[in-house]
Amino acid sequence: EKEKIMRQIIDRMIGNLNETISKNRVYATQLKKRKSHGWESEKKEEKVLDYPDIDGKQFDGDVCRGAAILIQQPELDAALLHAICLAPFVVYTMNSMNSGIFAWRWLLAARPEYLMNVMIELRDAWVWTIEERIGLFSDMERPPSPLSIIQNQASAQCSDDMDEAEKFQKRASCILPHGLFIDWILEFFPVVMSSGGSEEKGVIEEMLVAALKRPHHFSILRESMGARFRFLLFCFEFLHGKHAST
């Protein structure tokens, strides 16, 4: 019975993941075409996408149940761990990230031997957001001056008038979920220092390098300054503490 429930959770989460990734990539492609060929003309020619939203309560339950199954199972289920580590980044909301952080913290407290496995999955999820230009790494253009006519016209537009691609762009450029994750990494790092070895520190270093080697990927929005500062300060402290490999 447990295996059947676990399989249902994994299948549902992976299905939602694949659907959301596919949707996000289509929206990103639409937005790029609009920028290069003219916003309104390109917008009129696009097909309307009808993807069901992920149920927040069901998502929270899946992530927590997934963590519970990993804790109870005698052996690690790699597919389930991958799902509960990547899913909060793909859904990319405050609620999804809070659910993920709760599940990761719970899992590592109960099964500390999974530390390296969790860190590798989180590193890959972090790199995925860099490559997909999400959150702290979104490629949103710098907004116009508040005094400009364009800005005043845009402000007057109701959010209900935005199509799905524009709503995706607004959500993907939000910095708050990444800020939550960075704050958790700052809290989590002392645990890695005390219980992890050089391999665990190496995974942290890979996460930092993945972002720093693409400085043009960092968001230029004003709202990103707080998260960007905390991340760069952590990079400095990591180097100053001589944790980086030579």
How many domains in the chain?
1
Comparing CA positions, the residue from 198, 80, 214, 87 lying closest to residue 139 is: 214
Distances (CA, A) of 187 to 125, 192, 228, 234: 18, 10, 16, 11
> Could you give the CA distance from residue 48 to residue 99 in angstroms, rounded to a whole number?
31
> Could you give the CA distance from residue 172 to residue 139 in angstroms, rounded to a whole number?
9
In DSSP notation, 184-201 reads: HHHHHHHHHHHH--HHHH
Q: Is 85 domain-assigned?
A: yes
Q: What would the pLDDT profile of 50-99 be if each residue is shown by its tens digit? A: 444 566 777 788 888 889 989 998 999 898 899 899 989 988 889 999 99
Q: Is 209 domain-assigned?
A: yes
Banded model confidence at residue 158, pLDDT cuts 50, 70, 90: very low
Q: What would the pLDDT profile of 92-146 be if each residue is shown by its tens digit? A: 889 999 999 999 999 999 999 999 999 999 999 999 999 888 889 986 655 555 5
Tell me the residue range of the domain where 150 lies: 2-240
Give pTM, 2 decimals.
0.76
Comparing CA positions, the residue from 198, 9, 207 lying closest to residue 103 is: 9
Q: Do the Cβ atoms of 46 and 30 come closer than 8 Å?
A: yes
Six-digit token pair at 99? Answer: 């659910």
> Could you give the CA distance from residue 45 to residue 37 in angstroms, rounded to a whole number?
11
**In this predicted model, which residue has the larger pLDDT, 41 or 61?**
61
> Could you give the CA distance from residue 232 to residue 213 in angstroms, rounded to a whole number?
12
Please give the angle made by the CA atoms of 72, 77 and 81, to the nearest 5 degrees.
95
As a whole number of Å, the end-to-end CA separation of the chain is: 50
Q: Is 59 domain-assigned?
A: yes
Q: Is 62 domain-assigned?
A: yes
Q: Is 246 domain-assigned?
A: no
Q: Is 6 domain-assigned?
A: yes
Q: Do the Cβ atoms of 173 and 219 come closer than 8 Å?
A: yes
Q: Is 63 domain-assigned?
A: yes
Q: Is 28 domain-assigned?
A: yes
Q: Do the Cβ atoms of 94 and 59 come closer than 8 Å?
A: no
Q: Which residues contact 130 (CB under 8 A, 6 or more apart)?
A: 137, 210, 211, 214, 217
Q: Which residues contact 62 (CB under 8 A, 6 or more apart)?
A: 9, 12, 13, 87
